[in-house]
Amino acid sequence: MHADPSSPASASAAAPTAAAVDHYRICPLCEACCGLAVRTEGLPATVTRISGWAGDVLSDGYLCPKGYALKDLHDDPDRLRTPLMRKQGRNSPLEPCSWEQAFAEIDRRLPPILAEHGRDALALVAGNPSAHKMGLLLYFARLARTVGSKNLFSASTLDQMPKQLQAGLMYGHWVSIPLPDITRTQFLLVLGANPLASNGSMWTVPDFRGKAKALRARGGTLVVVDPRRTETAAVADAHHAIRPGTDVFLLGAMVHTLFAERLVKPGHALPWLSGVDALRDAVAGFTPEAVAQRCGISAAAIRQLTRDLAAAPSAAVYGRIGTCTQTYGTLACWLIDVLNALTGNLDVPGGMLWTKAAAFASNTAGKPGSGRGVATGRHRSRVGRSPEVFGELPIVQLAQEIETPGAGQVRAAIFMAANPVLSAPNGARLAAALDRLDFSVSLDIYCNETASHADVVLPGLSPLEEGHYDVPFPQLSWRNSARYSPPVLPAPAEQPPEWQTLLRLIAIVQGRGTAVDVQTLDDEWLADDLRRSAGDNAAAVQAALGAWRGPERLVDLALRSGPYGDGFGQRPDGLSLARVAATPGGIDLGALQPRLPEVLRTPSGMVELAPALLLADLPRALADLAAHPAAAADADAAGALLIIGRRDVRSNNSWMHNLPTLAKGPQRCTLLVHPLDAQRLGLADGALARIARGAAQLQAPVQISDTVMPGVVSLPHGWGHDLAGSRLALAGQRPGVNLNSLLDDGLTDPLSGNAVLSGLAVQVQPA
Ligand SMILES: Nc1nc2c(c(=O)[nH]1)N[C@H]1C(S)=C(S)[C@@H](COP(=O)(O)OP(=O)(O)OC[C@H]3O[C@@H](n4cnc5c(=O)[nH]c(N)nc54)[C@H](O)[C@@H]3O)O[C@H]1N2
Ligand SMILES: Nc1nc2c(c(=O)[nH]1)N[C@H]1C(S)=C(S)[C@@H](COP(=O)(O)OP(=O)(O)OC[C@H]3O[C@@H](n4cnc5c(=O)[nH]c(N)nc54)[C@H](O)[C@@H]3O)O[C@H]1N2
Ligand code: SF4
Ligand SMILES: [Mo]
């Protein structure tokens, strides 16, 4: 069963054969992380079929339409296979060039900027797919360490930073996030998530639909709180339409009700809960009556929902992006876990449980039960003065950091799998700012709307040409497992994997130029890591890691020294990458188990139910409620509608619109309008509407639908592929419009720096 770790077989594509072969491949496109069977045939091999891998320990054969689209992605003529650079100076077009030319250009232009203006002059920006590529995630961390710039940005501040901050404050580590025990719970309350379209987020739960069906089949209840009757709400027992941005009020009132009706019963977790009394006082002002109008949910319904939650034999409250991308995002995430804890559902089967991941989890490392906890604000953004959170600054502030002169001004940038010109608010401002940079590089597999502003574009490989181990997602999975998939197809000889590209950027930043040997550099980094983690054993550990190289070697190290690892021979039947790789479909490590108190890394060794940072922010929400009991200040303007986004299973943020199997079918970038609003505004189904916020405006086709609540309209994000310079031929045929061009880059959750992407007021009229 043990593959020979010195054999390269499991780190490179299988030996070529003309016969049909089903290769095991973990899908890198979304957080469900499904195991796929990718069939290749012929010489040279082409992909002839993609299906779910029956018996994958995590996904059990499930896949969605995007999984099939990996073939289109591999074959897409617009996918970059060579670097691009501006050969005739900054206003010349991006043209294909050799890798040596590209690195030479970076070496010529980047080090002088760092030498003259310092490390903060270089901004690093990581986008969503970085989390899905071990080479990007593990080696970007090294690049960031080498550069040492405070100007570190990522999609996290368009997404889940509130969740990470809340978990960090309550449990002591940024990724210690308890998850619904979906196969055993009897009551699942979902706020601001639509896993039927998104396939789950901060929760790796492939086939949510099947698991929700099983929950209801065993007599359990699924309740959804969302301004739209989503695909998930449609399969639920109950749906509460909530006014966007008001979850903090609903949740505050639910916690209030637990105290008022003596429903607080923490049970198992009680010995480790700190701050229950402080909480009672903190939510005193959130009576159901006080919040009902603002939330659009009656006081009676709030009380009943709370009672149902408290009475359920087991229950789990899960909130996702809808609860994060609002100005009270961190407060909302916090109150969700407070509900879980006070109803006795934290750390129990059927409630909320932590994973015990096989590799890379900080809550399995170091001393169990307590730790340093987390802090924010070790530095602040130069212009906006926002606190650093988890080492990052708010991505909505990138443009002003570029525009504003002074010491520490951003003059260069490296984008990695990121497209903030479409995915962040006010992309037009950012696009203009990018053109003012002295130099920028994009690592991307397409020339997207952001890369088109770069001086050099460096492409990554097709996912089918890379090995895969999920670094973050086993820390967020419905079940513990370890899975690895080797490359399906060989990479083109000329094209390096991205971890090597990142090492070459590191060498350039270090002033070592372009002639370095990446393998030597990789060995140096490993030796450096091991000196810190393995001390005197460093040399022995390095030898034991055998023939693995690059990210695979880091995975092997993490697995073997992890909680199920072979300990480099101490536990011979433990995990190593060779062992995991020899088991296509993965190794099951069992259902989630209670982990209190060892999972905690707070200084107190307790679950902090009332962190000072969060208590101090509550008066902001209370003052807002007192001043605007019926509707957000923003929505007071006559006739204003609140705009929200939505996800579609055939789309993925700002990309994958160039793939034929996903692009076909109905137009997806439409504005959902409730029939009452359509009638009032004279909007006809299929006709164009003009959507305006301040000076920004755009036009989108109207889709009249009673799935959105009255007063709310919905337009998906990630569209607007008609900007000059990007090279996405198919996407450009049906470009859609960019929701984010309406949204303000000045609005954040001040605690986490997360952007406000939901519930802003717009004016809508026939175009
Ligand atoms: N209004 C609104 N805006 C939103 C959201 C919302 O809900 N509403 N959602 C936000 C969220 S949650 C997120 S995560 C962000 C996402 O926004 P971004 O982080 O900007 O990510 P994407 O839009 O997914 O773009 C990813 C880019 O990575 C490239 N890519 C794909 N695979 C690879 C690879 O292997 N290597 C490299 N180098 N590049 C690759 C793709 O070509 C694409 O250009 O958008 C946010 N924006
Ligand atoms: N098909 C597809 N899958 C994806 C993605 C994609 O773009 N397409 N993106 C991936 C990424 S990067 C992420 S982060 C995840 C996100 O995964 P999810 O969190 O499941 O994302 P959404 O489907 O956008 O669901 C968010 C829901 O919040 C609702 N909402 C909006 N405002 C509010 C509010 O104020 N309160 C409440 N309670 N609800 C609100 C919206 O109507 C929407 O139904 O999806 C991932 N998976
Ligand atoms: S749900 Fe679809 S996109 Fe997500 S991992 Fe599974 S197959 Fe890939
Ligand atoms: Mo995301």
Q: What is the pLDDT of residues 696-725, one digit of tens each?
A: 999 999 999 999 999 999 999 999 999 999
Cα-based distances in Å from 533 to 475, 522, 529, 536, 549: 21, 16, 6, 9, 18
Give the helix/strand (H/E) hosting 329.
helix 329-342
Ligand 2 centroid distance, CA of 198 (Å): 6
CATH number at residue 270: 3.40.228.10
Ligand 1 centroid distance, CA of 352 (Å): 29
Q: Does residue 755 share a domain with residue 671?
A: yes
Exposed / middle / buried, residue 498 (Cβ in 10 Å: 0-12, 13-18, 19+): buried
Q: Does residue 137 share a domain with residue 19?
A: no
Ligand 1 atom at shortest distance from the alpha carbon of 448: 44
What's the pLDDT score for residue 9?
39
- Containing structural domain, residue 724: 631-766
Q: Does residue 222 share a domain with residue 109?
A: no
Does 303 reside within a domain?
A: yes
Q: Does residue 405 share a domain with residue 320?
A: no
Which residues in the chain show pLDDT less than 70? 1-14, 636
Ligand 1 centroid distance, CA of 131 (Å): 10
Does 374 reside within a domain?
A: no
Tell which of 579, 614, 649 closes a domain: 614
Does 381 reside within a domain?
A: no
Ligand 4 centroid distance, CA of 544 (Å): 37
Closest CA to 651 of 158, 194, 211, 161: 194
Ligand 2 atom at shortest distance from the alpha carbon of 159: 14
Ligand 3 atom at shortest distance from the alpha carbon of 63: 7
CATH number at residue 639: 2.40.40.20
What's the pLDDT score for residue 6?
35
Query: Does 654 contact ligand 1 (Cβ within 6 A)?
Result: yes
DSSP per residue, 245-260: T-HHHHHHHHHHHHHH
Does 547 reside within a domain?
A: no
Closest CA to 330 of 195, 203, 196, 174: 174
CATH number at residue 129: 3.40.50.740
pTM exceeds cut of 0.85: yes
Q: Does residue 341 share a domain with residue 268?
A: yes
Q: Does residue 461 share a domain with residue 342?
A: no
SS3 278: helix
What's the pLDDT score for residue 14?
67
Q: Are 457 and 447 in contact (CB under 8 A)?
A: yes
What's the pLDDT score for residue 12?
60
Supply φ then ψ for residue 738, to 5 degrees: -95, 100
Q: Where does residue 38 fall: left (phi above 0), alpha (psi -120 to 50 degrees), or beta otherwise?
A: beta
Give the helix/strand (H/E) hosting 415.
strand 412-416
Q: Does residue 213 share a domain with residue 182?
A: yes
Query: Does 320 contact ligand 1 (Cβ within 6 A)?
Result: no
Does 679 reside within a domain?
A: yes
Q: Does residue 363 share a domain with residue 407?
A: no
Query: Does 344 contact ligand 1 (Cβ within 6 A)?
Result: no
Give the closest residue (by CA) to ligand 1 atom 28: 417
Q: Does residue 686 share a domain with residue 660?
A: yes
Does 334 reside within a domain?
A: yes
Ligand 1 atom at shortest distance from the alpha carbon of 461: 35
Amino acid at 270: L
Q: Does residue 186 share a domain with residue 134?
A: no
Does 227 reside within a domain?
A: yes
Ligand 3 atom at shortest distance from the alpha carbon of 36: 7
Choose one of 132, 203, 444, 723 to mutate for the ligand 1 pocket test, by most ligand atoms within 8 angstroms of C-beta.
Answer: 444
CATH number at residue 56: 2.20.25
- Whether cis (ω within 30° of 0) applies to the bond prior to 603 is no
Ligand 1 centroid distance, CA of 449 (Å): 11
Ligand 4 centroid distance, CA of 327 (Å): 17
Give the closest residue (by CA) to ligand 2 atom 31: 322
Query: Does 455 contact ligand 1 (Cβ within 6 A)?
Result: no
Ligand 3 atom at shortest distance from the alpha carbon of 64: 2
Chain centroid offset of residue 721 CA: 22
Q: What is the pLDDT of residues 232-244, one digit of tens each?
A: 999 999 999 999 9
Ligand 1 centroid distance, CA of 321 (Å): 14
Query: Does 201 contact ligand 3 (Cβ within 6 A)?
Result: no
Ligand 3 centroid distance, CA of 222 (Å): 23
Tell which of 45, 68, 91 closes a domain: 68
Give the closest residue (by CA) to ligand 3 atom 2: 64
Q: What is the pLDDT of residues 299-357, one digit of tens each?
A: 999 999 999 999 999 999 999 999 999 999 999 999 999 999 999 999 999 999 999 99
Dist. CA 376–CA 754, nearest whole Å: 13
Residues lining ligand 2, Cβ inside 6 A = 30, 128, 159, 191-195, 197-199, 201, 225-228, 230, 242, 244-245, 247, 320-323, 326, 644-649, 651-653, 758-759
Ligand 1 centroid distance, CA of 417 (Å): 7
Does 453 reside within a domain?
A: yes
| Ligand minimally distant from the alpha carbon of residue 499 | 1
Ligand 3 atom at shortest distance from the alpha carbon of 59: 6
Chain centroid offset of residue 495 CA: 27
Dist. CA 471–CA 707, nearest whole Å: 37
What's the pLDDT score for residue 13?
66
Q: What is the pLDDT of residues 330-341, one digit of tens each?
A: 999 999 999 999
What's the pLDDT score for residue 632?
84
Q: Does residue 143 share a domain with residue 64?
A: no
Specify the number of domains making up the chain: 4
Q: Does residue 266 share a domain with residue 214?
A: yes
Closest CA to 635 of 714, 741, 711: 711
Give the closest residue (by CA) to ligand 1 atom 17: 423
Dist. CA 394–CA 390, nearest whole Å: 11
